[in-house]
Amino acid sequence: MNRIASQIEPRNWQTISHLAALFPNANSAPEGTVAITLFSFLTAASYVVTRAVGVGLFLSRIGTSHLPHALVGAAVVVVLMSAVTRMVVRRSSPHSALGFTWATLAIASLGLAWTLGLSPHSLSLLGVLFVLAEVRGCLNSVYVTTLSNDAFGSAGTKRPYVWVATGATLAGVVMGGLLSLEAAQVSGEVFLYGAVALDLMTISVIRFLPRTGSVRASAARTSSPPRLNLPDPKESLVDRYQRVRHYRWALGALMAAQVVALTFMGYQWNVIVTEYHLGNEEHIIAYFAAFYAINDAIILLLQVSAAGKLLDRLGIGWVLLLYPLSLLAVALAMLASPQIAYLFIIVTIGSGLNVLRRSLHDPGLASAFSILRHDVRRETIVVVKGMIKPMVEAASAILLLWVAPSLSVNNVTLVWILVLTPWLVFALLVVSIHHTGRPDAVAMATDDSAPASSLARSA
């Protein structure tokens, strides 16, 4: 080793030191950080492929008239899948269900790739593909958030959340760029076989993911203990857990308001993009792929350079407010003109605000769960991200199904402007409770207490 090291030129050591500076705490990262980040990369890559192909094929071959139906179907299926996931998570570690879940996704993608080759314009098959993409997105969110909080909940820093998010971002850059370059030469059905290969690689990585017990022990060894504000001795146990319930409801309400706004915005984005490209399949797929690649490249740069430091230094308060405030500015700009070219530019900018959501808002929101006790936290993640989110998506899609034929572009904009107000209110509520540092303080202080556990479940 010394002989090899002596052969490395000084300038190469300097280059290595510069690369290491990008991840200054990599050596002290909690156990499982690399495995969870790789899991995040692979699952996000298969989602990007399925999402881009599913949306592109559906819009080009079916059109926007059936889009609300597809959104409703996707939301219903996701709710059912999340209910099953919740039962599994409550009874065992999420680790035990991962292999079966991604094997099922691989089989479903393989079947769709084959059958779409036989019936490329089948409404039912294209609808199932659209639903499969939404299911992938939900499962990715639930499992990655759960694994991250189990691993990093006691880490005392938010940077590992950003590292895991960076894996998903890198997947978007790589797969989005590949799709953008090859969309004109390769059919969507062929790309689905690539998603199957990514699922198989995901299954091979699952065995390296840490389990809850080892993760919590490692976090305690490798990081400083988090600040814990001890509960007020004059406050009753019921009052303390009432605060836990309020925090969980605030997280759920924040997610619900966010979903309604983004559902209407996403529908509006799809409609405007389809009209602008006159329904051309290759152009639509290429646009979405290029958009995700460029957007994710900017997110990756921000995550590597500044996001973790900003989250540690400033906390989650400002990042939970910056994104909805930016969307509000975009919405007001969309009301300025009905021209399709102008709307295409503005809605692309609005969707580009995913830079803020993915690099700052989402890691900050994910870390907001960490102050809950691990069993309460895991169930809360499944309920908020796996049940409330798709249920509200279903309600929003049903509302779209009912009102979309009579809504103009400006009216759709007004809807999600109205929803941005409660989004900001609930974000402020989450921030105010989180900044106390102890919505679940007594639960963390009595982590092995059976009575506290029973109270947490009732909350």
Any idea what the Cα angle at residue 104 is, between residues 51 and 393, rounded to 5°?
A: 45
Any idea what the Cα angle at residue 195 is, between residues 55 and 126, rounded to 5°?
A: 35
DSSP result, 185-223: TS-HHHHHHHHHHHHHHHHHHHTTSPPHHHHHHHHHHHS
pLDDT at 111: 92
The third-level CATH classification (topology) of the domain covering 30-224+235-458 is Growth Hormone; Chain: A; (1.20.1250)
The residue type found at 206 is I
- What three-state secondary structure class fits 321? helix
Which residue in 316, 223, 306, 286 sits closest to 52, CA to CA?
A: 286
pLDDT at 365: 86
Phi, psi dihedrals of residue 294, rounded to the nearest 5° = -65, -45
> How confident is the prediction for the chain on average, in pLDDT?
75
Q: Are 109 and 195 in contact (CB under 8 A)?
A: yes
Beta-carbon-side half-sphere exposure of residue 220 (alpha carbons within 13 Å): 6
pLDDT at 203: 92
Which residue in 360, 177, 158 sits closest to 286, CA to CA?
A: 177
Phi, psi dihedrals of residue 67, rounded to the nearest 5° = -60, -45
Burial code (b: 16+ CB inside 10 Å, e: under 16) for 18-56 equals: eeeeeeebeeebbbbbebbbbbbbbbbbbbbbbbbbbbb
What radius of gyration do the chain's Cα atoms show? 22
- CB within 8 Å of 174: residues ≥ 6 apart: 45
Q: Are 202 and 28 in contact (CB under 8 A)?
A: no
pLDDT at 42: 94
The tokens of 241 are what?
């857990």
Q: Are 373 and 447 in contact (CB under 8 A)?
A: yes
Give the span between the Cα atoms of 219 and 418, in whole angstroms: 42
Q: Which residue in the block uniquely carries the two structure tokens 């509000």?
A: 328
Give the span between the Cα atoms of 97 and 453, in whole angstroms: 23
pLDDT at 254: 92
Give the span between the Cα atoms of 149 and 210, in whole angstroms: 12
H or E element, residue 358: none
Q: Tens-of-pLDDT digits for all 459 residues of the chain?
A: 334 344 434 444 343 344 344 444 444 566 778 889 999 999 999 998 898 888 888 888 877 777 777 777 777 787 787 777 767 766 666 666 788 888 889 999 999 989 988 888 888 888 888 888 888 988 888 888 888 887 776 666 777 888 888 888 888 888 877 887 766 666 777 888 999 999 999 999 988 887 654 444 444 444 444 444 444 444 444 455 566 777 888 899 999 999 888 888 888 888 888 888 877 777 887 888 788 778 878 888 888 787 777 777 767 778 888 899 999 999 899 888 888 889 899 999 988 898 888 888 888 888 888 778 777 787 788 888 878 887 887 788 778 778 777 777 778 888 888 889 899 999 988 888 777 655 544 334 333 333 333 323 333
Give the span between the Cα atoms of 49 and 124, in whole angstroms: 19
pLDDT at 14: 47
DSSP result, 363-379: HHHHHHGGGS-HHHHHH
Task: Give residue limits of the domains in the chain.
Answer: 30-224+235-458
The residue type found at 80 is L
Q: What are the distances in angstroms from CA 217 to CA 161, 179, 350, 362, 459?
A: 18, 41, 42, 26, 27
Beta-carbon-side half-sphere exposure of residue 240 (alpha carbons within 13 Å): 22
pLDDT at 45: 92
pLDDT at 458: 35
pLDDT at 361: 86
The tokens of 219 are what?
């976090």
User: Residues of the chain with pLDDT > 70: what percent?
Assistant: 76
Q: What is the pTM of this model?
A: 0.66
